[in-house]
Amino acid sequence: MTGKTVLIVGASSGIGKSLAQLLIKQGVSVISASRNNPELEDVKHYTLDVTTAEPDFSFLPETLDGLVYCPGSINLRPFQRLTIADFQKDMEVNFLGAVKTLQAAFKSLKKSESASVVLFSTVASKLGMNFHSSIASAKAAVEGLGKSLAAEWSSQHIRVNVLAPSLTATPLAERLLATDDKKEASNKRHPIGRYGTTHDLAEMASFLLSPKSSWITGQVIGIDGGVGSLKP
């Protein structure tokens, strides 16, 4: 990965920040784009708000070897209490923001010999879960986008894969793991015996960005402690 250039949208915290730290150690030139600065050494940061009508992507380099879109939301409420505005907001952050970013970055990705894109979904798009109708819908759209682009961009040697995590200890999920009881309950829900860490997701994203995964594209990969496919 030495000498490669990777854009991380949403590197200011959580999974994106862990990934940036990991890639830097691997000799990657990391570009951060988000509303907040991750304040990491050796990272070029640009302010970006993907929810605006026309985000400023003028900072994009001529060539990109990798792109990771991390922004997400956790809006867990009964379906009847969700408004159309709630659904629109989740779609804007999770799906349409990714669309805007990918359209802007296509020319730069195309100039790489073998570019890789990593998007994020959720286990809730596969496994029906209470109160997840808005976020599961938005992330299901991300999965559809990822598979479609993997096919469309394969002729350009651009790989596209999607990671679908279960509950992970990020600032976004802080209230879901706010007490020892909540942490223990979450541990018990996962067959592997624990909830996820940002490092778990960063390691897989790093692998998908690397030449080691050069024959992997169009996949939705569950990084979920087994909760999406196992019931011991």
User: Per-residue confidence at 174, pLDDT binned at 50, 70, 90?
Assistant: confident
Strands 115-120 and 158-165, bridge-based pairing: parallel
* Environment class of 127 (CB within 10 Å of its CB; exposed 0-12, middle 13-18, buried 19+): middle
User: Per-residue confidence at 137, pLDDT binned at 50, 70, 90?
Assistant: very high
Instruction: Name the one residue in this structure whose structure tokens are 């999965």.
Output: 143
Give the tens place of pLDDT for each residue, 207-223: 999 999 999 999 999 99
**Where on the phi/psi map is residue 27: left (φ > 0), alpha (ψ -120 to 50), or beta?**
left
Task: Enter the pTM of the model.
Answer: 0.95
Give the tens place of pLDDT for each residue, 75-131: 999 999 999 999 999 999 999 999 999 999 999 999 999 999 999 999 999 999 999
CA distance 40 to 24: 10
Percent of the chain exceeding pLDDT 90 equals 94
Give the tens place of pLDDT for each residue, 23-67: 999 999 999 999 999 999 999 999 999 999 999 999 999 999 999
**Given this model, what pLDDT does residue 171 score?**
85
User: Per-residue confidence at 232, pLDDT binned at 50, 70, 90?
Assistant: confident
**Given this model, what pLDDT does residue 172 score?**
83
**Given this model, what pLDDT does residue 84 score?**
98
CA-to-CA separations, 45 to 115, 221, 222, in angstroms, rounded: 21, 28, 29
